[in-house]
Amino acid sequence: MLTSKLSSSPKRKKLSINWAACIPIFSLICLFWVYAATAQDTPPTPPLTAEAVQAELNVGLDTLWVVVCAFLVFFMNAGFALVESGFCRRKNAVNILAKNLIVFAIATVVYWLFGFGFMFGEGNPYIGLNGFFLAGADNSPAIGDAYKGVFPSLNWTSIPLEAKFLFQLVFAGTAATIISGAVAERIKFSAFLIFSFLLVGISYAITGHWIWGGGWLASMGFYDFAGSTVVHSVGGWGALVGAAILGPRLGRYEDGRVNAIPGHNMGLATLGCLILWLGWFGFNPGSTMDLNPRLISHIAMTTNMAGAVGGLAATFTSWTISGKPDLSMIVNGILAGLVGVTASCAFVSVPSAAIIGIVAGVVVVFAVAFFDSIKIDDPVGATSVHLVCGVWGTLAVGLFSEADKFGAAPFPKAGLLFGGGIEQLIPQVVGILAVGGFTVAISFITWYAIQAVVGGIRVSKEDEEIGLDISEHGMESYSGF
């Protein structure tokens, strides 16, 4: 009732709202429908033996660990908002901030409605078909064979269902924010909202099911510990397709030259990078979803090492090439290293993590130049960081894995450089190609469908020149300067 005027008013003039309004309406319909379906039973209290105390307190420890990590990953929304708005122009800052702020709200709703069900619900090797709106049987935190419920692919972590959901939700939100940066400064606000809704709810969830939901890639031995592919390269593929379809910003490529369009606030961008780095301490170590002291310490260590050397490698690479150490390359180098080690952080040694980070830091510098050379205009380098280094990180599992050493279970085969041949590389390559192909296809279809329905996904030339803050939001980011 309260929101019906949003959608059914006969006097509506603004097309954009009509379409964007599908999101809350559809959500509301689902909401009321499922209202009665959500319920949970209290697990019985076990008798008090040392085993029982251990089990009970492990649930406490694991839950505490996972929710704290979820909070850190949630905070990455701020990191993405700041890096992306800092790297763009002042006249589009409100737009980027608004996108990054609202996208997590959208992710929350859609992932609850069906994203989590598609990803982790019982189903077939290709998609989950149970547990929409978190309904259905579930006796978490029971684990292993004792677990009875519709999310068997998450039966290995002894935490309540809602903690599982929360942790997975903040990951899903990350994928959408990655896209935001690549399509910045020219996309319609409403088009971005709809794309995010569909990406998180459908595409991300389906490919996630293949890997983390017990699907076909998991079965063939593909490993991606914390999401170089599941999160980063999925976001990156969506970003690439979006940036390609939208075309470059006005004036970006002229007469064969690449015109630099400098970002407007390096303080925000740097803070954003440090917030993301902080968030990664939740992203990677938290992906244990289990307070394994040695393993989480090791993952925090490999993660930090890869981020640090990624930053150093990118700095010295760009310093060598351009003669000056570029702050935006320090930022992107750190992020590249962090993305790069995300798939393998639990499976590789610290020196291997350093190598992975160095390669990521060097590669990201050349990737930025490469995308410019093919006139894919990605204002913040999201494609270079998340797609390219996400692919690299996924391959790195097949190269550097010594996974029996660090306490992760299950774990991939030894990597090529550690005597394992190409046995682990093969599923990694298959996974990269399959997820990439699927995400690209879905993204193309989705962007074109939105284009057809909304009437164009790019703002007019005039609006782009004025800036999206005024044209899309009617306000300035820095009033009084």
Residues 196-255 contacting a second copy, CB under 8 A? none
Work out which of 136, 202, 407, 444 binds a second copy, going by CB under 8 A.
407
Which residues, including other chains, have CB under 8 Å from residue 34's CB and lie 6 or more apart? 132, 133, 135
Identify which of residues 108 and 130 has a Cβ nearer to a second copy in the complex. 108
Q: Examine residue 72 and tell whether it contacts a second copy (CB under 8 A).
A: yes
Strand partners, 254: 257
Strand partners, 123: 128
Work out which of 83, 127, 134, 182 binds a second copy, going by CB under 8 A.
134
Work out which of 19, 83, 106, 339 binds a second copy, going by CB under 8 A.
106
Which SS3 state, helix, strand or coil, does residue 257 take? strand
Residues 359-388 contacting a second copy, CB under 8 A? 359, 362
Strand partners, 128: 123
User: How many Å apart are CA 455 and CA 374, to the nearest integer?
Assistant: 27
Shortest approach of a second copy to residue 450 CB, angstroms? 17
Q: Write phi, then psi, for 123 (nearest 5 degrees).
A: -175, -130
Strand partners, 124: 127
Question: Which two three-digit tokens encode residue 349?
Answer: 């040694």
Note whether 207 and 119 are within 8 A (CB): no
Binding mask 152-171 for a second copy (x = CB under 8 A): -------xxxxx-xx--x--
Mark the segment that binds a second copy (CB under 8 A) among 53-61, 148-156, 214-222, 228-236: 53-61
Q: Examine residue 419 and tell whether it contacts a second copy (CB under 8 A).
A: no
Identify which of residues 219 and 322 has a Cβ nearer to a second copy in the complex. 322
User: How many Å apart are CA 28 and CA 90, to the nearest integer?
Assistant: 35
Q: Examine residue 8 and tell whether it contacts a second copy (CB under 8 A).
A: no
Mark the segment that binds a second copy (CB under 8 A) among 102-110, 177-185, 372-380, 386-394: 102-110
Shortest approach of a second copy to residue 365 CB, angstroms? 11
Work out which of 154, 194, 206, 331 binds a second copy, going by CB under 8 A.
331
H/E element holding 253? strand 253-254
Shortest approach of a second copy to residue 23 CB, angstroms? 7
Note whether 415 and 399 are within 8 A (CB): yes
User: How many Å apart are CA 92 and CA 477, to the nearest integer?
Assistant: 8
Shortest approach of a second copy to residue 26 CB, angstroms? 12
Q: Closest Cα partner for 448 from 439, 457, 440?
A: 457
Q: Closest Cα partner for 361 from 305, 322, 414?
A: 305
H/E element holding 128? strand 127-128
Shortest approach of a second copy to residue 440 CB, angstroms? 29
Mark the segment that binds a second copy (CB under 8 A) among 222-230, 257-265, 373-381, 447-455: 257-265
Residues 16-35 contacting a second copy, CB under 8 A? 17, 20-21, 23-24, 27-28, 31-32, 34-35
User: How many Å apart are CA 375 and CA 365, to the nearest integer?
Assistant: 16
Residues in the chain: 481
Work out which of 15, 29, 46, 53 binds a second copy, going by CB under 8 A.
53
Shortest approach of a second copy to residue 348 CB, angstroms? 11
Shortest approach of a second copy to residue 132 CB, angstroms? 13
Q: Examine residue 195 and tell whether it contacts a second copy (CB under 8 A).
A: no
